[in-house]
Amino acid sequence: MAPGVFDMVSLKLADTVGFEALYVTGYGVVASHLGLPDAGLATYTDMVGRVGAMAAMAATPLIADGDTGYGGLINIRHTVRGYEAAGAAAIQLEDQEFPKKCGHTPGRRVIAVEDMRQRIEVAVEARSDPEFLIVARTDARSSLGLDEALRRGEAYVKAGADVLFIESPESEAEMARIGRSFDVPLLANMVEGGRTPLLPARRLEELGFRIAIFPVAGLLAAAAALQRVYRRLSESGNSAGGADTYFPFAEFNKLMGFEEIWEFERKHAESPKPGET
């Protein structure tokens, strides 16, 4: 189970819970960092900078959204090398046309199978550590049907993908068919309000999935909480709320590392100047 992290606060919070992996969500990073839709508007530079900042802080391995690789094959090589150097444990690459769109929104179009196969081969060749995983995603289900998505999945596995991500199955029966079709690790995308049924981890495992990402759960929850607080403040002129309204200020200071700053200041406090007490 890998929850989506989209900024440094969400990263720090998720990193303390005990997950085996975290998912750097392109949708969430673009929204929080740029205030824009996940529609191919973020650049490689935008994303690799966020990945690097998160990896430097996280003790938990990061699966990072690499979209379409941000260009042609030479760009994919550059992206894979950059994400690996930034500290990610895995990169997700997809078979959408550029500019890409969020996987649970309409209007997605995919490239030819052979073109995506080349993307994966280049990605595998580009990594320096074989433990750095290539996650191959196909968005063919929504526009071309499940049969085509399964055919593409088989081709991407043969090209060297370590993990297969068939986006947007629309029923539990479709998810079961995906699980029966492959022996490689499969990734399920749990999007609240999306096209795919939200299933508990145990059921996903029974269906044959090894990884479940929850890319927008934290982002949507944070947005709902912010909206409630801002509306109440605007309407009442008062920020007071119940005990569960706010993350405790003292705990947030601890999360951000203020205790280390205070200890540093105590250790290196300046000596009083002559005449001062």
Summarised one tens digit per residue, pLDDT across range 153-173 is 999 999 999 999 999 999 999
Mean pLDDT of the chain: 93
Span 234-276, pLDDT tens digits: 999 998 877 778 999 999 999 999 999 999 999 888 666 666 6
Whether the per-residue pLDDT at 108 is higher than 90: the answer is no
Q: What's the confidence (pLDDT) of residue 13?
A: 97
Q: What is the pLDDT of residue 160?
A: 98
pLDDT of residue 194: 92
**Cβ atoms within 10 Å, residue 277:** 3
> What pLDDT is attached to residue 242?
73
CA distance 195 to 242: 35
**Residue 170 forms part of a structural domain:** yes
Could you tell me the CATH number of the domain that includes residue 97? 3.20.20.60
Look at residue 232 and tell me if it is in a domain. Answer: no
pLDDT at 269: 81
pLDDT of residue 103: 57
- Contact between residue 121 and residue 159 where contact means Cβ atoms under 8 Å apart: yes
Is residue 251 in a domain? no
Q: Measured on CA atoms in the order 207, 171, 167, 198, is the torsion positive or negative?
A: negative
Q: Is residue 258 part of a domain?
A: no
**Res 240: pLDDT:** 86
Q: Is residue 35 part of a domain?
A: yes
Q: Could you give the CA distance from residue 159 to residue 110 in angstroms, rounded to a whole number?
A: 17
Which pLDDT tens digit goes with each residue over 168-224? Answer: 999 999 999 999 999 999 999 999 999 999 999 999 999 999 999 999 999 999 999
**Does residue 264 belong to any structural domain of this protein?**
no
265 in a domain, yes or no? Answer: no
For residue 203, count other CB atoms closer than 10 A to its CB.
13
For residue 50, the enclosing domain spans: 2-222
pTM: 0.92
Say what the pLDDT of residue 98 is: 76
Is 153 part of any domain?
yes
Percent of the chain having pLDDT more than 90?
Answer: 86
Tens-digit pLDDT profile for residues 128-140: 999 999 999 999 9
pLDDT at 19: 97
Predicted local confidence at residue 272, as pLDDT: 62
Angle, CA 166 vertex, CA 33 and CA 220 arms, to 5°: 35
Could you give the number of structural domains in the chain?
1
Using pLDDT thresholds of 50, 70 and 90, give the confidence band for residue 40. Answer: confident
Report whether pLDDT(277) > 60.
Answer: no
Token pair, residue 209, equals: 């999935």
Range with lowest mean pLDDT among 1-5, 48-52, 228-232: 228-232
pLDDT at 202: 97
